[in-house]
Chain A
């Protein structure tokens, strides 16, 4: 009889080992598929990627179960051998000690059963945390999540894998009811979790296809939080159970998640909660009246709560600054709702679509604002020679090309290439134009229902108008005096284009934030700056010349005026003096005619007496010998009487010599 039981045990452990192996292999295959598809471009959903974590844990638990089954089987076989040996011992007692030493499988099993749950628990926890960190780092370093290329196929494969996982998991949980197969339960629990996540991955991919990619983000991040919670639970289990005396026959291995078991074990969630409480507190909590009351009332309470939540969807509010449109089964009503509270049929019969009509929205034409890491540059100082966006917006712009020969600008279209056959008579400009707009309240239906993506359409229209305007605008003019006109023209053109297709927006403002040469080649902005310097030099030269003119012209005018005034003075003098002289002459003439000789003598004597009063006079007797005096006027400016005596001496000497 004992042998028969032992034989059954051996067979049972064999079966456990085989089942564990099959489940582990299936999990490994599923994990392989999941890793492959999660890493291919055409699947590409974060929720699919993190489904690899529970599959990895399930595989780890499955392999642990295989080892347990293997050790259990060996121990049972060893037990059989031991019984046979005991029977032989009864016949002969020699070599007893030697044969006893060979029985080690039971001790191995005992050690494995005792210590491995702790190790498995810690390893599983570390495994989950490590994988979470890996995913966090990978997702944190990318610009944006890639979208699946073939979402329908991806959803199908994900769903297929989830079906395999759920069947495997349910099978393991079902088998784990037998005490020998107890370690299959954690495997099954994690496989069920994998199945749930794979179904969610399938839904996430379909939502991406429905242009709701954010749901993949929300789902994957929610599951990451759940994983972190489960990893923490494993660690706590380890700490709680470490000091608890173990008999080796515990019903629940410590690496089994109680949280997951509550929702996955057979018998219903409430029953599982009761069992967990009983297990944790060590008495029948589930028999207390309060528990019984809660168990009976929880379902109606939840249903009423859900009903109330649903009924709350019959009340909606249009906030200040918004306008709403009531949609009944997808059909919008023509009446636009002003801000306020409204009653409506609950979801999904009626919905109120709200649009922020007062909010000024902004799009940017030109540069890429964010770099590959999603960061936006915000420099305090913006210079032509330094990059100030992730990627500058570059436009072709017409240019009245400066001709050194003529010193004038030629129209760009008429200018032939100068330096090579490929050089085009155009220039390039780096520019950024923020376009600010509001939803037009009178065209709210157009904005909401006529265009698939009004903002994208507006951006494309704005880019078109800016491109077209720049293509017909002179670069230097745009950068300087034409800026204001350009902004006004572009705003007008965008408004006309949006009105033409009834986009339902008002262009509130357009700005031209940048307008400068491209900064790829640093020498180009410097060349532009150099022109400004040259203009300043030109102005300085002109101002210097004007200063010279300002100095000499007034001087010349003053000199000219002086000349004229002198001439006028002369004229006046001539006239007045002549007139006076005539008057005097006439008066003198009277005296002269009376007695000419006397008048002459009198005048002469008057001259000598009065006019020559201060004059030095030398009287020379005319009876003296007549001499010719030579006076050297060059040596002395003023002759004196002594000089005459010297001269006489000199003349004498000359006479003697002759």
Chain B
């Protein structure tokens, strides 16, 4: 009885273990007979050599390895800058060296093609990298340096260069690797180190020339302002003098108009004019020397009592 009880108890004690075993087994079976596909992935399912694609996200049934193999490919847009020659020196149409960095935004649209040609994205990117370098060199060689860099926007052809590189890439990438090229961009432009030194030297010389030019221009403009000022001064004075002369002349003319009255008695007019002038002259410290023949001093002459009226008309 006691042994039976122990056996029964032992059987009960094993239930948790059995339950745990079932749970583990179920989890294990789910793990090997299913796979989860995220919305950002495509799955390439290889069933004994037969390949198909699954694009619907969620939990999917699968046969366990090695019957079925699942290869996941990211279906999102990827930005690829290249792995060899990310920044590469090349030659423009006008024989100038230029250093370019290009990136490509692509996405996988045909995962089966990618799987069959390259097995994985890394290998595909290696091939894409070679294509990028080749296309870039080919297109850059068709454009002049001034079409890469120019303050005249009409002559600047960077967007067209990017379009041309994309055009060269997209067909090969789609047909060979199942990749859709969404856009191509030139993310860096440069020149070789040796040329860089020369550019910096030229920039320096140019700035020094600009400094000298600014100084000389300053002197020139200052001199011009001074000369113009002098000229304006002279002009203003000349104009004023001319105007003054005209005004004076007008004054004289107006005065002359009155002189016709003097014609009525010119002798008197001349006499009075002389007298006015004499008055002005003697206003200052003057000494008059008058002889006795001058009235009224003629009275002092001997025999003045005999003078007849009208004899001293001097």
Contact = CB atoms under 8 A, between A and B. Distances in A.
Interface of A: 300, 327-332, 348, 394-402, 404, 407, 411-414, 418-420, 422-428, 449-453, 456-457, 460-461, 463-464, 467-468, 471-474, 500-501, 517-518, 520-521, 523-524, 527-528, 530-531, 533-535, 537-542, 544-546, 548-549, 552-553, 555-557, 559-564, 566-568, 570-575, 577-579, 581-582, 584-586, 588-589, 592-593, 596-597, 599-601, 603-605, 607-608, 611-612, 615-623, 638-641
A419 B205 contact: yes
Interface string B193-205: 0111011111111
Contacts of A471: 148-150, 156, 158, 189
B149 A426 contact: yes
Contacts of A557: 236
B96 interface: yes
B259 A578 contact: yes
Contacts of B289: 617-618, 620
A570 B248 contact: yes
B110 interface: no
B149 A398 contact: yes
Contact of B225 (A328, A500, A517, A542): A542
B307 interface: no
Interface string B177-219: 0000011011111110011101111111111111111110111
A575 B251 contact: yes
A423 B202 contact: yes
B251 A521 contact: no
Given A531-B210, A545-B222, A564 B244 contact: yes
Given A553-B236, A621-B291, A622-B292, A329 B57 contact: yes
A418 B300 CA distance: 108
A24 to B, nearest CB: 38
A453 B209 contact: no
Kindly name the residue among B182, B214, B239, B261 whose own CB sees the greatest number of chain A CB atoms within 10 A. Answer: B214
20 contacts: A330-B59, A396-B190, A404-B210, A413-B149, A419-B205, A423-B201, A426-B149, A428-B199, A449-B39, A452-B79, A467-B188, A531-B211, A540-B218, A541-B219, A548-B225, A577-B255, A592-B265, A607-B278, A607-B279, A616-B287
Given A534-B211, A574-B255, A618-B288, A463 B223 contact: no
B188 A571 contact: no
B221 A542 contact: yes
A32 to B, nearest CB: 30
B159 interface: yes
Contacts of A601: 295
Interface size class of B (residues with CB under 8 A): 35 or more
Interface of B: 16, 36-41, 56-59, 74, 76-79, 81, 96-97, 103, 105, 145-153, 155-156, 158-159, 182-183, 185-191, 194-196, 198-215, 217-219, 221-226, 228-230, 232-234, 236-237, 239-241, 243-248, 250-252, 254-259, 261-262, 264-265, 268-269, 271-272, 275, 278-279, 282, 285-293, 295-297, 300-302, 309-310, 313
A458 to B, nearest CB: 9
A592 B269 CA distance: 11
B290 A501 contact: no
B273 to A, nearest CB: 9
- 4 nearest A-B pairs in the assembled complex, by CB-CB distance: A538-B218, A560-B240, A571-B251, A567-B244
A615 B282 contact: yes
Given A528-B207, A567-B244, A619-B290, 17 more contacts: A330-B38, A401-B206, A419-B205, A423-B198, A471-B189, A474-B151, A527-B208, A542-B222, A545-B224, A553-B236, A556-B234, A556-B237, A564-B247, A574-B251, A600-B271, A607-B279, A621-B291
A548 B222 CA distance: 10
Contact of B295 (A460, A573, A604): A604
Contacts, number: 378
A582 B272 CA distance: 11
Contacts of A603: 271-272, 275
**Chain A binding site: helix, strand, loop or mixed by DSSP?**
helix
Kindly name the residue among A453, A501, A541, A586 whose own CB sees the greatest number of chain B CB atoms within 10 A. Answer: A541
Contact of A589 (B58, B251, B265): B265
Contact of B155 (A413, A500, A592): A413
Contacts of B234: 556
B218 A541 contact: yes
B254 A571 contact: yes
B211 A578 contact: no
A585 B223 CA distance: 59
B251 A418 contact: no
A652 B246 CA distance: 55
A577 B293 CA distance: 34
A572 B262 CA distance: 20
Contacts of A451: 76-79
B244 A566 contact: yes
A549 B297 contact: no
A530 B207 contact: yes
Given A411-B151, A564-B247, A544 B37 contact: no
Contacts of A571: 247-248, 250-251, 254
B229 A549 contact: yes
Contact of A538 (B187, B214, B243, B278): B214
Contacts of A399: 151, 203
A623 B302 contact: yes
B279 A563 contact: no
A457 B210 contact: no
A312 B5 CA distance: 40
A545 B289 CA distance: 62
A585 B286 contact: no
A552 B229 CA distance: 7
A450 B76 contact: yes
Contacts of A450: 76-77
A552 B188 CA distance: 58
B150 A472 contact: yes
Nearest to B56: A331
Kindly name the residue among A453, A615, A641 whose own CB sees the greatest number of chain B CB atoms within 10 A. Answer: A615
B187 A467 contact: yes
A397 B213 CA distance: 23
B10 to A, nearest CB: 15
A574 B282 contact: no
